[in-house]
C-alpha cells in the first residue's frame, strides 16, 4: 500500500446509489458486514423501488443503501452521507441533494452516456459542466476497469460489467482501510457453484481497492475505530431476521412448536423465508392462498395448541381483520406481526411508515381489544416477538406487534443473547378429566380473567367455541343482553389488566421540565440521537420510548404530567398523539412526516428547539 495520510473519524455515513440492477443493496450489505466485524457500531437504511426492475437508467429505478458506522454508539443510519457513490446519472440526480458541500462523490463515469443523461433528465453532463465543483468529485471509469480486471476469467462482457459494484466496494474499502477477506469469503460461499463468477467478482473487488491505492484518488484515507459496545458476542442482523429468530426462540423457550401462517407481502416476506429455513426447530410454516387463510390457519393451529404466528404488512392486516375479531372472541393466543409500509391501499410497498397504529389499536368491528407492542430497532424485533408471544400465551389473546419497512431491512450490531436471559414462556393446557362434569371453557381466573387453553385431543374437555357471543361460563351461544355487555367489558378489562405485566415507562434526561420527546416504534433511534445531542448542547429535553401501545404503561399519565410540553414525532399524521390526547385529556404536540423516509436527527432537533424558543419568546 502506498503512503497516504490517515485521518481518524468518529463516524461516517456512506450512501451507495445506482440502478436497481446495479447490485447496490448487496454492496451496502457487504460493507455493513465488514464494518460490523471490524467492531464499529452500525445502522443501515436500504431504500429501493417497489419494481424489481424499473427501466434501466431511469430515476424511478434508483436504489440506494445508506450506512452509518462509527466508533461510538449510534442510533440512526445518518442524516446525510459523507460519501456518495453514484453508479449512474439517475443515482446522482436523486441523491446529490443530500450530499453536503465538500462531501466525497465517487461516480462511475462510464455510465454518463448521452442516453443515461437523458433518462436522468440532465441537459448537460454534470461531470463536465462544473456543477459538481463544490464536492470532492472522484471520477472512476468503473465499467471499463472492471471489464479489464475480470478479462482473465473469460466471463461474457455482460456478466463482467455486472461485477462493477464490487469494484466500487473495493474503492470504498480502501478509503476506509477495510479488510477484504470477509467479502471474499462471502463471494466464495455465495457463488460456490459458479467459480468463474466468484473469481470475477473477487478480481473486481481487488481491482477497485488497488486502483484507489495506486492512482491515489484520495489524498486522505480515514480510520473509524472500534465502537465501545457493551461486552459480548455480536452479529449484524436486520429487523425481519430478528423477528424470525425471536419467533423461533419463543418456541424454544415455551417448548412448543411454532406455526407460522403467511401470505407473501412486501416488506414482511423475509420473515416467512427465514422461518421456512428452520424446520429443524419444528417450525411449521404455511404459505396460505391469501391473507385470510393465513390468519385462519394460524387461529386453527392455536386452537390445536401450537404457538401460532401470522406475519404481514398493513394491507394484509386489513384482510385479516375479521379473523382477528374471531381470535378476540374465542380468546385464543395468536401473534400478529405487521411490518408497516406506506399506505393507504397498496401505497408505498417498499417504503416505511407508522400509519397502522390506529388500525392495530382500534381497527376492528365491535369492541375488540388487542394488546399492541412496537419494536424500536432492528434487533429489538427479536425481543418484541418474544414478549408478544409471552403475553399472547399467558393472557389467551391475540397480540399485535408492529415493525416497519425501515426496521425490517435496516441492520445493526446485535449482542447475541444467551437463552437464559430470555423471559420464560409458560404454556399451560387444561388437564384431561374423567369426572363427567361439563367443561366450562369460559370459566376464568377471577383476577387476570384468563380462560383455560383446552385443546382438542384432551379427554373430557370437549366444548364449542366460535365467533358468536358466548355465555360467560359455559361458552354456549348467548344472545342475552346482560351477558353481552358483561362479556364486552370483560374482554376490555382483561386486556387493560395486562398493565400489571408491563414495565413502567422510563425517561432519559431531566425527569421533569419543559419538554419530553415521546416516540414509539422505529423513530426511537432518531429521537435518542436528537435528545442526546440537544442535551450535549445544554438544551434540557427529556426523551422516552413507548414499547407498549395497548395498554399503555401504568405510569404514562403521571410521566406526561411532569412536562410542560410533550412532542411526539411519528411517521403518520399524529396517531399516537391523538390516542394520548384522548386518553389523558392534555394537548400533545406532533412532528409528523409521511414521506416513506425515516426522520433525520436534525428534523427532530429543529422542532424541539423551535418549541423551546417559542416558549422563551412567549414567556
Partner 1 sequence: MNTATATPTKLTRKDFASDQEVRWCPGCGNYSILSQVQKVMPELGYPKEDIVFISGIGCSSRFPYYMATYGFHGIHGRAITLATGLKIANPNLSVWVITGDGDGLSIGGNHFLHGLRRNLDINIILFNNRIYGLTKGQYSPTSEFGKRTKSSPQGTIEHPIRPVRAAIAAEATWVGRSVDADAKHLAKMLKLMARHDGVSFLEVFQNCIIFNDKAFEAFAAKKVRDERMIYLEDGEPLRFGKDREWGLTLDGLTPHKVRIGENGVTEDDILVYDAKNPSMAYLLANLEYPEFPVPVGVFLDVQRDIYEQSLQAQIDEAKSKPGAGDINALLAGPNTWTVD
Residues 427-466, interacting with partner 1 (CB under 8 A): 432, 434, 438, 455-466
Distance of CA 29 to CAs 16, 410, 604, Å? Answer: 10, 10, 27
Indicate whether 573 belongs to the interface with partner 1 (CB under 8 A): no
Least distance in angstroms from the C-beta of 261 to partner 1: 6
Burial 88-127 (b: 16+ CB within 10 A, else e): bbbbbbbbbebbeeebbbbbbbbbbeeebbebbebeeebb
Which positions from 190 through 219 interact with partner 1, judged by CB under 8 A?
none
Answer yes or no whether residue 69 interacts with partner 1 by CB under 8 A. Answer: no
* Residue 483 near partner 1 by CB under 8 A: no
* 510: phi then psi, degrees, rounded to nearest 5: -55, 135
Alpha-carbon distances of 117 from 15, 70, 91, 126, 133, rounded to whole Å: 21, 35, 11, 9, 18
65-69-72 Cα angle (round to 5): 150
Site size toward partner 1 (CB under 8 A) is 78
| Distance linking the first and last C-alpha atoms of the chain | 61
Complex with partner 1: residue 278 or 535, whichever CB lies closer:
278
Q: Please identify which residue in 24, 168, 224, 299 interacts with partner 1, judged by CB under 8 A.
A: 299
Element of type H or E holding 168: helix 164-175
Residue 589: beta bridge partners? 567
Q: How far is the CB of 250 from partner 1 (least distance, A)?
A: 11
- Among positions 15-44, residues that touch partner 1 (CB under 8 A) are 33, 36-39
With respect to partner 1, which residue has the nearer C-beta, 69 or 112?
A: 69
Nearer residue to partner 1 within complex by CB, 114 or 459: 459
Pick 324 or 524: Cβ nearer partner 1: 324
Residue 404 contacts residue 354 (beta carbons within 8 Å): yes
Nearer to partner 1, 192 or 432 (CB): 432
Counting Cα atoms < 13 Å in the Cβ hemisphere of 122 gives 25
The one among 215, 477, 492, 554 contacting partner 1 by CB under 8 A: 477
Q: For residues 147 and 248, which CB has a smaller minimum distance to partner 1 in the complex?
A: 248
Question: Of 329, 390, 336, 332, nearest to 361 (Cα)?
Answer: 336
Q: Measured from the CB atom, is 245 or 507 closer to partner 1?
A: 245
| CB of 464 or CB of 489, closer to partner 1 | 464
Task: Answer yes or no whether residue 363 interacts with partner 1 by CB under 8 A.
Answer: no
CB of 347 to partner 1, least distance (A): 24
Query: Binding of partner 1 at residue 482 (CB under 8 A)?
Result: no
Which CB atom, from 422 or from 591, has the smaller least distance to partner 1? 422
Q: Does 476 bind partner 1 (CB under 8 A)?
A: yes
Question: Which residues within the stretch 408-427 sit at the binding site for partner 1 (CB under 8 A)?
Answer: 416-419
* Integer-rounded Cα radius of gyration of the chain: 27
At its nearest, how many Å lie between partner 1 and the CB of residue 236?
A: 7
Out of 179, 255, 304, 503, point to the residue binding partner 1 (CB under 8 A): 304
Cell of 175: 478509503
Of 248 and 361, CB closest to partner 1 = 248
Query: Per the omega criterion (within 30 degrees of 0), is the bond before 278 cis?
Result: no
- Binding to partner 1 (CB under 8 A): which residues in 246-265? 248-249, 252, 257, 259, 261
Shortest CB 332 distance to partner 1, Å: 10
**Could you tell me the smallest distance in angstroms from the CB atom of residue 118 to partner 1?**
43
| Interactions with partner 1, residue window 326-355 (CB under 8 A) | 326, 330
Indicate which single residue of 171, 306, 542, 571 sits in contact with partner 1 (rule: CB under 8 A).
306
In this chain, which stretch among 160-168, 295-303, 350-358, 404-412 interacts with partner 1, using CB under 8 A? 295-303
Grid coordinates of 603: 428534523
Element (H, E) at 592: strand 589-592
The answer for residues whose C-beta is within 8 angstroms of residue 156's C-beta and 6 or more apart is none
Among 51-59, 215-223, 287-295, 493-501, which window interacts with partner 1 (CB under 8 A)? 287-295
C-alpha cell at 277: 429455513
| CA dihedral of 335, 340, 343, 347, whole degrees rounded to 10 | -110
Closest CA to 599 of 525, 496, 491: 525
Q: How far is the CB of 221 from partner 1 (least distance, A)?
A: 22
Region 160-189 residues binding partner 1, contact defined as CB under 8 A: 182
Can residue 225 be called a binding residue for partner 1 (CB under 8 A)? Answer: no
C-alpha cell at 502: 408491563
In the complex, minimum distance from the CB of residue 393 to partner 1, in angstroms, rounded to a whole number: 14
* Closest to partner 1 by CB, 4 or 463: 463
Question: Cβ of residue 441: shortest distance to partner 1, in angstroms?
Answer: 10
Q: How far is the CB of 125 from partner 1 (least distance, A)?
A: 41
b/e map 13-26, b = 16+ CB within 10 Å: bbbbbbbbbbbbbb
Rounded to 10 degrees, what is the CA torsion of 235, 270, 61, 149?
A: 50
Under 8 Å between Cβ of 135 and 107: no
**What is the residue whose three cell numbers read 388437564?**
431
Cell of 150: 475480470
Amino acid at each position: 500500500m502506498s503512503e497516504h495520510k490517515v485521518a481518524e473519524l468518529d463516524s461516517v455515513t456512506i450512501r451507495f446509489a445506482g440502478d436497481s440492477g446495479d447490485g447496490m443493496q448487496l454492496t451496502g450489505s457487504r460493507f455493513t458486514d465488514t464494518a460490523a466485524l471490524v467492531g464499529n457500531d452500525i445502522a443501515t437504511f436500504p431504500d429501493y423501488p417497489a419494481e424489481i426492475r424499473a427501466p434501466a437508467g431511469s430515476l424511478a429505478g434508483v436504489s440506494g443503501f445508506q450506512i452509518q458506522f462509527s466508533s461510538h454508539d449510534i442510533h440512526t443510519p445518518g442524516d446525510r452521507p459523507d460519501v456518495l457513490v453514484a453508479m449512474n446519472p439517475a443515482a446522482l440526480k436523486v441523491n446529490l441533494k443530500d450530499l453536503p458541500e465538500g462531501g466525497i462523490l465517487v461516480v462511475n463515469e462510464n455510465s454518463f452516456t448521452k442516453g443515461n443523461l437523458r433518462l436522468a433528465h440532465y441537459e448537460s453532463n454534470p461531470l463536465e459542466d462544473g456543477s459538481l465543483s463544490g464536492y470532492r468529485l472522484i471520477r472512476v471509469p468503473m465499467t471499463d476497469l472492471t471489464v479489464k480486471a475480470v478479462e482473465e476469467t473469460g466471463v461474457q462482457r455482460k456478466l463482467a460489467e455486472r461485477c462493477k459494484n464490487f469494484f466500487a466496494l473495493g474503492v470504498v474499502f480502501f478509503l476506509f482501510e477495510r479488510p477484504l477477506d470477509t467479502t471474499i469469503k462471502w463471494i466464495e460461499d455465495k457463488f460456490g457453484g459458479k467459480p468463474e463468477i466468484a473469481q470475477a467478482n473477487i478480481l473486481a473487488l481487488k481491482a477497485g481497492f488497488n486502483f484507489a491505492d495506486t492512482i491515489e484518488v484520495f489524498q486522505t484515507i480515514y480510520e473509524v475505530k472500534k465502537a465501545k459496545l457493551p461486552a459480548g458476542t455480536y452479529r449484524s442482523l436486520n429487523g425481519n431476521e430478528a423477528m424470525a429468530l425471536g419467533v423461533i426462540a419463543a418456541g424454544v423457550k415455551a417448548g412448543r412448536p411454532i406455526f407460522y401462517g403467511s401470505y407473501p407481502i412486501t416488506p414482511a416476506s423475509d420473515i416467512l423465508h427465514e422461518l421456512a429455513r428452520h424446520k429443524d426447530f419444528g417450525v411449521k410454516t404455511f404459505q396460505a392462498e391469501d391473507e385470510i387463510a393465513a390468519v385462519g390457519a394460524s387461529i386453527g393451529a392455536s386452537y390445536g395448541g401450537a404457538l401460532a404466528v401470522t406475519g404481514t404488512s398493513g394491507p394484509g392486516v386489513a384482510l385479516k381483520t375479521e379473523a382477528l375479531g374471531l381470535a378476540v372472541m374465542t380468546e385464543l393466543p395468536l401473534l400478529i406481526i405487521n411490518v408497516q409500509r406506506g399506505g393507504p391501499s397498496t401505497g408505498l410497498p417498499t417504503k416505511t411508515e407508522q400509519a397502522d397504529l390506529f388500525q392495530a389499536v382500534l381497527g376492528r368491528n365491535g369492541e375488540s381489544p388487542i394488546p399492541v407492542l412496537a419494536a424500536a430497532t432492528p434487533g429489538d424485533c427479536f425481543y418484541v416477538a418474544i414478549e408478544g408471544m409471552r403475553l399472547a400465551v399467558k393472557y389467551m389473546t391475540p397480540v399485535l406487534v408492529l415493525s416497519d419497512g425501515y426496521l425490517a431491512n435496516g441492520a445493526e450490531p446485535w449482542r447475541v443473547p444467551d437463552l437464559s436471559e430470555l423471559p420464560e414462556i409458560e404454556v399451560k393446557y387444561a388437564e384431561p378429566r374423567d369426572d363427567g362434569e361439563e367443561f366450562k371453557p369460559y370459566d376464568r381466573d377471577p383476577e387476570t380473567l384468563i380462560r383455560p387453553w383446552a385443546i382438542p385431543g384432551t379427554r373430557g374437555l370437549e366444548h364449542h367455541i366460535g365467533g358468536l357471543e358466548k355465555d360467560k361460563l359455559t361458552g354456549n351461544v348467548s344472545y342475552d343482553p346482560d351477558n353481552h355487555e358483561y362479556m364486552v367489558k370483560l374482554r376490555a378489562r382483561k386486556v387493560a389488566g395486562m398493565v400489571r405485566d408491563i414495565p413502567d415507562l422510563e425517561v432519559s434526561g431531566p425527569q421533569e421540565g419543559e419538554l419530553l420527546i415521546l416516540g414509539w416504534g422505529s423513530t426511537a433511534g432518531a429521537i435518542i440521537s436528537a435528545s442526546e445531542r440537544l442535551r450535549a448542547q445544554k438544551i434540557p429535553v427529556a426523551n422516552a420510548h413507548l414499547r407498549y401501545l395497548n395498554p399503555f404503561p401504568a405510569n404514562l399519565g403521571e410521566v406526561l404530567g411532569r412536562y410542560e410540553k410533550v412532542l411526539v414525532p411519528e411517521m403518520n399524521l399524529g396517531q399516537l398523539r391523538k390516542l394520548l390526547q384522548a386518553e389523558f385529556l392534555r394537548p400533545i404536540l406532533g412532528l409528523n412526516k409521511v414521506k416513506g423516509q425515516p426522520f433525520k436527527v436534525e428534523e427532530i432537533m429543529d422542532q424541539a428547539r423551535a418549541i423551546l424558543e417559542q416558549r422563551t419568546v412567549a414567556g
